[in-house]
A = this chain, B = another copy of it.
Amino acid sequence: MPPSERLRDHVGQGATTVAAHRTRRRLRADRARQLADLLRRQLLTDAFPDGALPHEDALAAEYDATRNTVRQALDLLRAEGLVTRQPGVGTVLATRKYPHGLDRLMGLAETLHEHGRVTNEVRATVPVPAPAPVAERLRVPPGADVLYIERLRRLNGVPLSLDHTYLPLDTGTALLGADLENNDVFHLLESVTGTPLGHAEINLEAVSADAHSAAVLETPRGAAVLMLERLTHLADGRPVDLEFIRFRGDRIAMSGLLHRSA
């Protein structure tokens, strides 16, 4: 008996006809989501090296699922923008998702170096008076100028993230003449200060892309965005870099290792 049937039996016992119908529909949706989650994982770990997923029948057999469930699961992945379905070809990878390390404080070019070349389109570099929450975190007087940098970051030409960066003016000014198009700010900060970075407080959220971010990132309006807020300190404790980074949800995943003991 396939697991969908077993699950149905298990949950549906004693249910009325209408309730049983609802339960079946729910379980089909659950099964599709379960399968989509397993396939998402396979896609992320390059389990389909030529980018083509097995045929629906093969997936149905492998995952002990109905063809309907397989189709629903593939529809979910398509809605996420991960795969496209081509007539006569089948289901193929639409976009690769790259793993951004969560275990160590790293810049984008650094964490993705084995996947290709990161380039940055610098959309703005301009001193602005620090708004109170920026001033407080960068430990500068409120209203004092900080350097604001806005970059669209690409991997091998493909948009990955839109970054808003605030730097205190003392270190920031030294970055004005630097090659921001081809370097991580982390790398430049360590170069100009002669001090290694120490730690960063990070905050990760899932948000929907507003119309404007979506246009810049070349993704549909409302698409899921992985939003990283990060306050980075030099090894001597000085806060030097406050960033608000919008990663395209279909192109970046964060991966790391957590330990139980503190």
> Which residues of A line the B interface, CB within 8 A?
3, 6-7, 10-11, 26, 29-30, 32-38, 40-42, 44, 47, 62-64, 76, 79-80, 97, 99, 102-105, 123-124, 126-129, 131-134, 148, 150, 164, 196-208, 210-213, 222-227, 229-230, 235, 244, 247, 249, 253-262
Contact = CB atoms under 8 A, between A and B. Distances in A.
10 contacts: A7-B148, A36-B210, A41-B203, A97-B205, A103-B262, A199-B258, A199-B259, A202-B257, A204-B253, A224-B225
A9 B206 CA distance: 33
B64 A204 contact: no
A37 to B, nearest CB: 4
B202 A133 contact: no
A3 B105 contact: no
A124 B201 contact: no
Contacts of A230: 258
Nearest to A223: B208
Contact of A33 (B10, B40, B212, B257): B212
Contacts of A3: 126, 128-129, 148
A102 to B, nearest CB: 7
Contact of A260 (B38, B44, B47, B235): B235
Can you tell how many copies of this chain the complex includes?
2
Contacts of A33: 164, 210, 212-213
B205 A7 contact: no
B128 A204 contact: no
B102 A102 contact: yes
A255 B204 contact: yes
A34 B126 CA distance: 14
A254 B38 CA distance: 23
B150 A30 contact: yes
Contacts of A206: 206-207, 224-227, 247, 249
Contacts of A128: 3, 6-7
A237 to B, nearest CB: 12
* Residue among A41, A213, A258 facing the most chain B CB atoms (10 A cut-off): A258
Given A33-B164, A205-B226, A244-B37, A124 B258 contact: no
B260 A198 contact: yes
Contacts of A210: 29, 33, 36, 76, 79
A46 B206 CA distance: 19
